[in-house]
Amino acid sequence: MIKQLSIYAENKKGTMTDITRILSDEGINIWGSVTNDSAEFGIIRMIVSDAELARQKLEAAGYFCRLCNVIGVEMADEVGALKKLLQALTDSNINVDYIYLSFNRDSGLPVQVFHANDITEVEECIRSKGFKVVS
């Protein structure tokens, strides 16, 4: 499992700059992220090098943050790789809440990061189907 940092932030000019400045000042590297916005607020989901420190520093700056577990699956960089993963999840009756892309810095391969209910059970299922789960 991977720890994901979710930041609930006002949708206004300079917010992302401020968040990335705080992380940069603490030497925290962003390994993957996705932002979902609405008219007033957005959710920024990130995989970072130190999720707990990032949470502490961002909360001290006034941001509401949450840590949760997500699954990362390393896969080949080829056509149909994501479809194979999603088909395996569908065949196992697993619903994916959201998914986004990161990369394994060591292997250079894509890592699909996703959230689903009962992370531990889903992780075991994915491993049993031959997928490489990263942590």
What are the residue ranges spanned by the domains of the chain? 2-68, 70-134
Q: In whole angstroms, what is the distance from residue 127 CA to residue 15 CA?
A: 38
User: Whole-model pTM?
Assistant: 0.85
Give, in words, the CATH class of 70-134: alpha beta
Residues lower than pLDDT 70 in the chain: none
* CA 25 to mean position of chain CA atoms: 21
Give, in words, the CATH class of 2-68: alpha beta
The identity of residue 23, as a single letter, is L
| CB-facing half-sphere around the CA of 115: CA atoms within 13 A | 13
Residues 6+ apart with CB under 8 A from 53: 26, 28
Residue 71: φ, ψ to 5°: -110, 135
pLDDT in tens, 50-79: 999 999 999 999 999 999 999 999 999 999
Question: In this predicted structure, what is the pLDDT of residue 49?
Answer: 93
Helix (H, G, I), strand (E, B) or coil at 2: strand
